[in-house]
A = this chain, B = another copy of it.
Amino acid sequence: MRQAGRYMAEYRELRARVSFLDLCKRPELATEVTVTAAERLGVDAAILFADILLILEPMGFGLEFTKGEGPVIHNPIRTTADVDGIRPFEDPAPLAFVYQAVRSIRSALRSDLPLIGFAGAPFTLACYAIEGGSSRHYEKAKAFMYHDPGAWDALMRRFVDATATYLNAQAAAGAQALQIFDSWVGSLSPTDYRRFVQPHMARLFAQLDPTVPTIHFGTDTGSLLELQCEAGGTVIGLDWRVDLRSARQRLGEGRAVQGNLDPVVLLSNQAEIESQAQRILDEAGGRPGHIFNLGHGILPTTPVENVLSLVDFVHNASLRRTH
């Protein structure tokens, strides 16, 4: 999950001077916020500062991050012809600033701290591209999918190819793991996931550098875990709506999982945070293959000291278990 963000004073200070998109596009600034966050929090891996929507610009979408409203796509997809008009992303060069950030972060980070690169998953990118921004029900995206499965398929294929190119370029630049954010996929029924998303995700994972571990992330995916697992991913992300123990049973011993603390718990107090973190560690059962993490992004109102004490608590509890 994004580590640098509005909950950190260092980040807010930088953002007072630079727009969000500029921050993503200037490798020296992306490096600064990535490294500062990872070092300050004391986490076991750093995640690149970037945005899943960056890839939309070189594909021909007009992208803007507006204050308060979040991302806006000025020319959303509405017709089959719009799909044909999307520019392929065969040459990864237009996002060179991202790979440059990866290289620069990698060389600035402590050598034993792995760096995670990431991208949005095709379904989540398609939701943004069709809705034109965030959405509550994804009704335009789903209606498009139901109305014209052929155009949907073509759209997903373009996003799959683009995302594979983008992620492999991040890996080539030094990213040691790749996280694929399918943040909105939990809005689909299992049947629709199987029909409209799963084959595309399988094709995406098949195109990625096989030497780099992948994290297959989603939220609201309680009924989709087995299907996501079939599609691919070294690690499957779990939000807080699922019981970690039963999720691991469903996915089998061979599959690692990541999660599953509710980010809102970080707005509570020390005792509550520790008790919920301990429950997750207990449910993980001390077996390898569980990466402690939040179930979704950190909220802007989160007190940074609560994050620090959570990281400490999880480290100490894990140490107690291994010694």
Q: Which residues on A are within 8 Å of B, measured CB to CB?
A: 137-139, 142-143, 146-147, 186-192, 220, 222-223, 240-243, 260, 262-265, 267-269, 272, 276, 279, 299, 301
> How many angstroms between the C-alpha atoms of A264 and B147 in the bound complex?
11
Q: Out of B139, B220, B269, B272, name the residue touching A220 (CB < 8 Å).
A: B220
27 contacts across the A-B interface (CB closer than 8 A):
A138-B264, A139-B264, A139-B299, A139-B301, A142-B264, A142-B265, A143-B264, A143-B267, A143-B268, A146-B264, A146-B265, A146-B272, A147-B269, A186-B241, A187-B241, A189-B240, A189-B241, A189-B260, A189-B262, A190-B241, A190-B242, A191-B243, A191-B279, A192-B262, A220-B241, A223-B241, A223-B242
The distance from the CB of A295 to the nearest CB of chain B, in whole angstroms, is 8
User: In the complex this chain forms, how many copies of it are found?
Assistant: 2
Complex Cα–Cα for A189 and B220 (A): 11
What is the CA–CA distance of A223 and B138 in the complex, to the nearest angstrom?
Answer: 22
**How distant is the Cα of A139 from the Cα of B301 in the complex, in angstroms?**
9
CB distance from A5 to the nearest CB of B (A): 14
**Which residues of chain B have C-beta atoms less than 8 A from A190's C-beta?**
241-243
Closest 6 A-B residue pairs measured CB to CB? Answer: A146-B268, A222-B222, A143-B267, A142-B264, A189-B240, A146-B272
CA distance A139 to B272 in the complex (A): 15
Bound state CA distance, A190 and B239, in angstroms? 11
Within 8 Å CB of A276, what residues of B? Answer: 191
Q: Is the CB of A137 within 8 A of B189?
A: no
A262, closest chain B residue (CB): B189
A137-B263, A139-B264, A223-B241 known, 11 other contacts, Cβ within 8 Å: A137-B299, A139-B301, A142-B262, A142-B265, A143-B267, A186-B241, A189-B262, A190-B242, A191-B243, A220-B220, A223-B242
> Closest CB-CB distance, A227 to chain B, in whole Å?
11
Residues of B within 8 A of A272 (CB): 146-147
A21 to chain B, nearest CB (A): 22
C-alpha gap A269/B143 in the complex (Å): 9
